[in-house]
Structure 1
Amino acid sequence: MCELYVKADPILYESRSRSLRIRGVVTTLRLENQFWDILREIAEVDGMTTNQLIAKLYEEVMDFRGEVVNFASFLRVSCTRYLAQKAGRQVPLRVVGAAG
């Protein structure tokens, strides 16, 4: 089983920074290449650029929650939820056993 993980091309987990404009402010996000690829795929499905998708996600999470403590982590979780949904698995709204 571990071969699936340990034999992954190191370029997939190499981090890359990208600058984009969110709410009129230029900001930099640092994510692993694998997540940039998934975000690009989500954006293409939704007919947007990756930067447009990220800005939209930021707007939506701010409208819904009022804050986002770690936006890069939010994007990573969004990617894993997209992949689970794409694979036909139920996507939970919260972690079982989590406080709150």
Structure 2
Amino acid sequence: MCDGALGVIVLTNARDPQMLPAMLELLREFSRIAPEASLAVGIAMTDEVEDFLVPPFGEALVAEGFRVPVMRVDARSATQITFLVKSLLSYRYTSATR
């Protein structure tokens, strides 16, 4: 599914109590399958979780070795998903020029 991909976007549900371990497992697997692909994470349903904060989630990913764009998204919004795709591509471009 992602073999040879330029990037992989993983959408997760903030209401899932196993969100972080499940996300880490997906990121590890996608990194193994497509090691050259850039990764980005979209977190949906954050409006339904009281006091949900993105920074602790992002920090947990960094602690596991994943420096990737992480943002809240409404998965039903084409505009927000487009922004997530642009973030992935921008991150890929800036990482490649370093």
Q: TM-score, normalized by length of structure 1?
A: 0.30
Greater relative contact order (Cα < 8 A, sep 6+): 2
Q: TM-score, normalised by structure 2?
A: 0.30
Higher gyration radius (CA): 1
* Structure ranking higher in helix proportion: 1
